[in-house]
Chains A and B, each alone.
Chain A
Amino acid sequence: MTTTTTEHSRPYTHGDLPRLMGLMTGDEKHGPAATSTLDVLWVLYNRVLRVGPERMDDPERDRFLLSKGHGPMAYYAVLAAKGFVPVEWLPDFGSYDSPLGHHPDRVLVPGAEIGSGSLGHGLPIAVGTALGLRAQGRTAPRVWVLVGDAELDEGSNHEAIAFAGPAGLDRLHTVVVDNSSAGHARPGGIAARFEAAGWSAVTVDGRDHAALYAAFTAPHPGRPRAVVARVEPKSA
């Protein structure tokens, strides 16, 4: 479906992402806000998620749900680098005829498992996805959802967090990209919130690929997993 891999003589790497983002933003330099999710997304798509353009309809694929749909350039760049989205779609980002909006739409974006934009929807949907896979006896697929630290203000997340722990949804994973953008947050409070609900939780440097990979792949038997990925404060 895409000419990306044939035109591009080598696989895209992490180093290509600023240029791919630049096709959308018009500048290869990006501030911390635009790239807050970039390393998390790259490590997931490059090393963790069992997904690919050839298996978008495979019921045994992993599911990645981008709940924090604001600022999706990093997401689209990673989807393009991995062959889900043609690179030539990127420059038209946000135009009337483009499938790539300023919030992703699963109906339009190949590889997007959900549409997002309004905050606090991804985690409850991820809970239902994990329940649906469990009900069908599909124990292999893992479900991932990416939320922002300020997004956790939305109460719907706490309905999902409080349910998933006691329900033992051990295929469910939440990665919280924490760029200190919540207005009323307490440092250290995010992981504690998940732990109090029975999740396995860890806080790591959201720019450290090795640390992210280790956090993403650590065992957490019987419990859902939360990884808090700390990056530069949005206001810095």
Chain B
Amino acid sequence: MDTMRDRFAPVVSRLLEEDPRVAVVLAEIGRDGFADAQLRHPDRVINVGIREQLLVGAGAGLALTGMRPVVHTFASFLVERPFEQVKLDLGHQDVGAVLVSAAASFDWPAGGFTHMAPGDVALLDTLDGWTVHVPGHPDEAETLLRHAVAAGDDRVYVRLSVQSNAEALPVDGARFRTVREGRSGVVVAVGPMLDAVLAATDGLDVTVLYATTVRPFDADALRAATRAAGTDVVLVEPYLAGTSTTAANDALADVPHRVLGLGVGRAELRRYGTVADHLTAHGLDTRTLRERIGGFAGGGDGGRVAVRG
């Protein structure tokens, strides 16, 4: 199967044809995919070199002239390195952009920690007004990229990853989707975590919500799900554990509830290997997820005993 990143350049190249406002800003990474588009639109496919502060700043300048910039590099160099540009050049200047990242939390484990960005969504959570899409399949990535570019002058982050579910689901760029209904807890599976969550909760009496747009957080969907399934909530996110715990707590502020936030741990592993190795190391493999979810919710043997969080 191709990856979300394989879809990025073809989709955005088509958008360059369809919408004269669209401009692509790159910092070397991903440039080969845009070679043809750059020949056709030399003024709207811009590679600034390995200069990430300029990458975001130039995107903001394009937006100030009325363009719709699509700004791309690895997540660590798109959100973390030029974070002040994201905060000021986009947010404070009150302009929009579509930031599209690759490499996610540990898409290239052998590349080590310098190319891992499990904190990207948490960092964006310190800022106002960001829409965050976390597709779980290349088809969903394609749909969400189109939503992102079409979203007026909004600030939108699209997080692409090699992690993927086997099958795509319909996504609307806004709401969570109910994938399974139960009576003893709600599990929110974000993007590429869905397949592991479905396998891990097989036979557990839980509702599974599928989230591909995590900001704004679909509080209505979570509240609605808890009416039948109760207010034990487990979040399974492919980035920093607990990133959406506050959002879930806020959604349920007026009812007693419990939230368990699962995801990538803070500790630097200093390990290479494979994506599967890292999922296991962070407790995001199917077996460990089943232990942790079953121990917290689902009416299974774990009952009400909270497991290590």
Residue B84 at the chain A interface, CB threshold 8 Å = yes
Residue B54 at the chain A interface, CB threshold 8 Å = yes
The answer to whether B62 touches A115, judged by C-beta atoms less than 8 angstroms apart, is no
- Report chain A residues within 8 Å CB of B61: 124-132
Q: Which residue of B lies closest to A155 (CB)?
A: B53
CB distance from A183 to the nearest CB of B (A): 21
How many interface residues does chain B have, given as a range?
20 to 34
| A159 CA / B56 CA spacing, docked (Å) | 11
- Report chain B residues within 8 Å CB of A130: 61
> Given B23, B64, B88, which contacts A121 in the complex, CB threshold below 8 Å?
B88
Residue B268 at the chain A interface, CB threshold 8 Å = no
- Report chain A residues within 8 Å CB of B63: 128, 132
Q: Which residue of A lies closest to B65 (CB)?
A: A132
Majority secondary structure of chain A interface residues (helix, strand, loop or mixed): helix
- Report chain B residues within 8 Å CB of A118: 84, 88
Residue A163 at the chain B interface, CB threshold 8 Å = yes
B-facing residues in A149-197 (Cβ within 8 Å) = 155-156, 159-160, 162-163
| A115 CA / B89 CA spacing, docked (Å) | 9
CB distance from B99 to the nearest CB of A (A): 14
In the complex where A59-B66, A121-B88, A133-B65 touch, is A128 in contact with B57 (Cβ < 8 A)? yes
Residue B93 at the chain A interface, CB threshold 8 Å = yes
Question: Which of B32-40, B43-51, B124-132 makes up part of the contact surface?
Answer: B43-51
> Given A129, A135, A155, which contacts B64 in the complex, CB threshold below 8 Å?
A129
| A134 CA / B67 CA spacing, docked (Å) | 11
- Report chain B residues within 8 Å CB of A120: 53
Residue B85 at the chain A interface, CB threshold 8 Å = yes
The answer to whether A131 touches B64, judged by C-beta atoms less than 8 angstroms apart, is no
Residue A107 at the chain B interface, CB threshold 8 Å = yes
- Report chain A residues within 8 Å CB of B62: 128-129, 131-132, 135
- Report chain B residues within 8 Å CB of A114: 64, 93
In the complex where A125-B57, A156-B53 touch, is A113 in contact with B48 (Cβ < 8 A)? no
Which residues of B approach A to under 8 Å, CB–CB?
A: 20, 23, 25, 43-44, 46, 48-49, 51, 53-54, 56-67, 69, 84-85, 88-89, 92-94
| 18 cross-chain CB contacts under 8 A | A105-B92, A106-B93, A106-B94, A114-B93, A121-B57, A124-B85, A124-B89, A125-B93, A128-B62, A128-B63, A130-B61, A131-B58, A134-B43, A135-B44, A155-B53, A163-B49, A163-B54, A163-B58
